[in-house]
């Protein structure tokens, strides 16, 4: 009693067609049932992608602000160093000028003293 009914080619074909049709019906039914959850998952993915993009944009903005802050600080530091260098050069120059003026004054005082002694000596000789 292997086969109770006669399985001929047409029977097998119709059974295969019925199986395919039932699989297709089951697939369509599961697709329509899963459609709302799929839309929800898609919406969730979109919101996650938007949040990720917003976080990336915020990171980029923070990096840009930090970079500009560092550049500004570097520029201020460079300006301060240059100002200090200019002030030091001016201080050296003024010290040099003061030293030169003291030397010139001392030389003038020596000449004046020499001229006074010369005049006194000439006055004594006369």
**Number of other CB atoms surrounding residue 2 within 10 Å:** 4
Give residue 30's pLDDT: 83
Phi, psi of 82, deg, nearest 5? -65, -40
pLDDT per 10-residue tile (average), the chain, 126 residues: 64 91 90 79 94 97 97 97 96 95 94 94 87
Q: What is the model's pLDDT at position 6?
A: 63
User: Please, which residues have CB within 8 angstroms of residue 5's CB and are 6 or more apart in sequence?
Assistant: 11
Q: Which residues of 20-53 are buried (b: 16+ CB within 10 A; e: fewer)?
A: eeeeeeeeeeeeeeeeeeeeeeeeeeeeeeeeee
Report the phi/psi class of residue 6: left, alpha or beta, with left for phi > 0 and alpha for psi in -120 to 50. beta
Does the predicted model carry a pTM greater than 0.95?
Answer: no
Cα 115–116–119 angle (5° rounding)?
85
The span from the CA of 77 to the CA of 86, in Å, is 14
The rounded distance, in Å, linking the Cα atoms of 110 and 103 is 10
**pLDDT for res 1:** 42
């Amino acid at each position: 009693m292997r086969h109770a009914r006669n399985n001929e080619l047409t029977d097998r074909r119709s059974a295969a067609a019925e199986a395919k049709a039932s699989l297709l019906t089951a697939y369509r039914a599961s697709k329509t049932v899963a459609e709302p959850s799929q839309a929800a998952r898609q919406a969730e993915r979109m919101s996650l992608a938007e949040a990720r993009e917003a976080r990336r944009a915020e990171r980029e903005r923070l990096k840009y602000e930090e970079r500009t802050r560092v550049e500004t600080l570097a520029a201020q530091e460079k300006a301060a160093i240059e100002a200090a260098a200019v002030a030091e050069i001016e201080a050296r120059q003024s010290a040099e000028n003061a030293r030169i003026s003291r030397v010139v004054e001392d030389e003038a005082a020596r000449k004046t003293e020499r001229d006074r002694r010369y005049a006194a000596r000439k006055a004594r000789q006369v």
